[in-house]
């Protein structure tokens, strides 16, 4: 039996979305977690190599594989609980659709990942791509209460749960959040929500990077706790100079007090954006990352942020850069070479700073790897964890590079 016949027999005709695209890789869309498990169990027996796709907007679908597994039919939202500020959603739901369903119930997932609005929830969790809101609300993992995932040999595993505090068993959820799909296909996600903020205001200040870095420090020193404090390159902010964007979100009283604090800390230099302007500003910045072929993230101690930006500018350019200096996180987008990326990663590693390649065409991804230049003893651990969750090496994921 051919691969496609086998898949059709297992999952039904409608599970095969594309019998063979331009690169002749058939795309299969299982309709349930059990179907994902069945497919991967079979892949293990048959030795098929599988690449994972969400909505197909973030990573280029160019990894060499026997079949592509897309989560896009896993798009239900079984539970939204405004009283508990939690929700359960399948991994293939688009972030935009999820956001709408949550807002209808007065709730909010405080994540603003880079990329197109229709990205799947699963891809955001798997790549742990947080956006500017990481300043106020933390990393992707801080919003995930639990996940159900399917291993490379078709085992359905749950970790965590749907309550906001939970220490039962080892926290495998942490491995899935940011594992780039190397440790399993995420099929179901339990989310920690927030109430939709009553007030949500964005302020922007344009200037030189040096000047804005100082303002950002002043804002932090004043004890302000904005939802986002983001330093953006001119191209990304669509301004003539660099931009420092501050987002305040919460109760009306909180936002009013923070706004007064912001005015005090900056000498009243920020301009407030109207609600639609603010929405457009953040959305365009997020989408801009999807227009460049390569993105990576890096992060050090807050006081090294400026130095890291200098280093990026010097080694790979800084046309498309967004940084949360308060938490030391930086995202870069653009075009560059394997050699430059490797060199940059080595330089950063010398400063005890990691570089995570988020997105690149397969030739670059496979050469550089999402991760690399590990600290002492981590390589063997990662290898062991991969063997555990994907013993047949079914998943085509460039965890580490080829150098």
> From ligand FAD, other proteins, none, which one binds at residue 215 (CB under 5 to 8 Å depending on kind)?
none
Q: Which residues contact 226 (CB under 8 A, 6 or more apart)?
A: 135, 136, 219, 246, 247, 248, 258, 262
Q: Which does 375 bind (CB under 5 to 8 A by kind): other proteins, ligand FAD, none?
A: other proteins
Strand ranges, E, within 34-98: 50-53, 67-70, 79-81, 86-90
Distance of CA 308 to CAs 318, 321, 325, 390, Å?
11, 11, 10, 35
Is residue 146 at the binding interface for other proteins, with CB under 8 A as the rule? yes
* 382 half-sphere exposure, CB direction, 13 A CA radius: 17
Pick the piece of the chain touching ligand FAD (CB under 6 A) from 48-56, 77-85, 269-277, 303-311: 48-56
How far apart are CB 70 and ligand FAD at their closest, in Å?
7
Q: Which of 70, 66, 60, 12 is nearest to 36 (CA)?
A: 70
**Nearer residue to other proteins within complex by CB, 83 or 291:** 83
The contacts of residue 376 (CB under 8 Å, 6+ apart) are none
Residue number with CB closer to ligand FAD (16 or 204): 16
State in angstroms the smallest separation of the CB of 165 from other proteins.
4
Of 356, 327, 331, nearest to 341 by C-alpha is: 356
Q: Cβ(88)–Cβ(78) under 8 Å?
A: yes
Number of Cβ within a 10 Å radius of residue 220:
17
Residues 186-205 that bind ligand FAD (CB under 6 A): 186
Among 11, 25, 55, 224, binds ligand FAD (CB under 6 A): 55
* DSSP-assigned letter for residue 285: H
Q: Which of 28, 43, 50, 61 forms a contact with ligand FAD (CB under 6 A)?
A: 61
Q: Give the whole-angstrom CA distance, residue 22 versus residue 60.
A: 13
Write down the least CB distance from residue 316 to ligand FAD, Å.
18
| Paired residues of 70 in beta bridges | 53
Site for other proteins in 169-208 (CB under 8 A): 169-172, 174-175, 177-179, 182-183, 188, 194-198
Under the binding rule (CB under 8 A), the answer on residue 142 touching other proteins is yes
Asked if 253 is part of the footprint of other proteins (rule: CB under 8 A), the reply reads: yes
Interface characters, 82-111, with ligand FAD (x: CB under 6 A): ---------x--------------------
Q: Binding mask 372-401 vs other proteins (x if CB under 8 A, - otherwise)?
A: --xxxxx--xx-xx-xxx------------
Instruction: Give the per-residue contact string, 318-357, with other proteins (x = CB under 8 A; - = no).
Output: ---------xxx----------------------xxx-x-
Q: How far is Cα 205 from Cα 189, in angstroms, rounded to an integer?
A: 37
Residues 6+ apart with CB under 8 A from 354: 298, 299, 348, 371, 373
Element (H, E) at 367: helix 362-368
Please, which residue, 162 or 281, has the CB nearer to other proteins?
A: 162
User: Among candidates 327, 324, 326, 330, which has minimal Cα distance to 295?
Assistant: 330
Q: Could you tell me the smallest distance in angstroms from the CB atom of residue 133 to other proteins?
A: 15
Of these partners, ligand FAD, other proteins, none, which one is at the site of residue 283 (CB under 5 to 8 Å by kind)?
none
Rounded-to-integer distance, Cα 165 and Cα 73, Å = 30
Query: Does residue 97 touch other proteins according to CB under 8 A?
Result: no
* Nearer of residues 281 and 371 to other proteins, judged by Cβ: 371
Q: Which residues pair with 329 in a beta bridge?
A: 299, 324
Residue selected from 119, 143, 209, 345 as contacting ligand FAD according to rule CB under 6 A: 119
56 is in the binding site of which of ligand FAD, other proteins, none (Cβ under 5 to 8 A by kind)?
ligand FAD
User: How far is it, in rounded angstroms, from Cα 368 to Cα 339?
Assistant: 9
Q: Which stretch binds other proteins (CB under 8 A): 57-65, 137-145, 230-238, 278-286?
A: 137-145
Return the residues of window 356-375 that contact ligand FAD according to CB under 6 A. Answer: none
Q: Which residues bind ligand FAD (CB under 6 A)?
A: 52-61, 71, 91, 119-120, 122-123, 126-127, 180-181, 185-186, 290-291
């Amino acid at each position: 039996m051919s691969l496609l016949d086998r898949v059709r027999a297992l999952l039904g005709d409608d599970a095969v979305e594309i019998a063979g695209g331009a690169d002749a890789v058939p795309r299969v869309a299982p309709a349930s977690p059990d179907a994902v498990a069945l497919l991967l169990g079979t892949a293990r027996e048959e030795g098929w190599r599988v690449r994972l796709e969400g909505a197909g907007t973030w990573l280029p679908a160019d990894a060499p594989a026997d079949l592509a597994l897309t989560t896009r039919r896993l798009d239900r939202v079984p539970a939204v609980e405004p009283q508990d500020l939690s929700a359960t959603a399948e991994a293939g739901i688009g972030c935009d659709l999820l956001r709408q369903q949550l807002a209808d119930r007065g709730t909010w997932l405080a994540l603003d990942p880079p990329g197109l609005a229709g990205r799947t929830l699963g891809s955001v969790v798997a790549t742990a791509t947080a956006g500017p809101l990481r300043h106020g609300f933390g990393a992707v993992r801080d919003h995930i209460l639990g996940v159900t995932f399917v291993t490379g040999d078709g085992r359905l595993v749950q970790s965590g749960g749907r309550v906001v505090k939970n220490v039962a068993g080892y926290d495998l959820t942490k491995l899935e959040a940011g594992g780039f799909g190397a440790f399993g296909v995420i099929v179901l996600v339990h989310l920690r929500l927030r109430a939709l903020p009553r007030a949500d205001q964005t302020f922007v200040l344009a200037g030189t990077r040096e000047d804005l870095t100082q303002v950002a420090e002043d804002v932090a020193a004043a004890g302000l706790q904005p939802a986002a404090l983001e330093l953006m390159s001119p191209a990304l902010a669509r301004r003539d100079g660099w931009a420092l964007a501050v987002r305040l979100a919460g109760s009306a009283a909180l936002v009013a007090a923070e706004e007064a604090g912001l005015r005090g800390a900056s000498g009243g230099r920020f301009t407030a954006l109207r609600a639609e302007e603010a929405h457009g500003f953040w959305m365009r910045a997020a989408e801009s990352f999807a227009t460049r072929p390569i993105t990576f993230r890096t992060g050090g101690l807050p006081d090294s942020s400026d130095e890291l930006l200098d280093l990026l500018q010097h080694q790979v350019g800084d046309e498309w850069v967004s940084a949360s200096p308060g938490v030391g996180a930086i995202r870069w987008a653009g075009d560059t070479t394997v050699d430059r990326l490797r060199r940059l990663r080595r330089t950063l590693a010398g400063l005890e700073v990691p570089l995570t390649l988020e997105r690149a065409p397969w030739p670059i991804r496979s050469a550089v790897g999402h991760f690399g230049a590990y600290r002492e003893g981590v390589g063997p651990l990662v290898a062991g964890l991969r063997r555990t969750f994907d013993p047949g090496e079914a998943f085509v994921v460039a965890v580490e590079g080829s150098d």
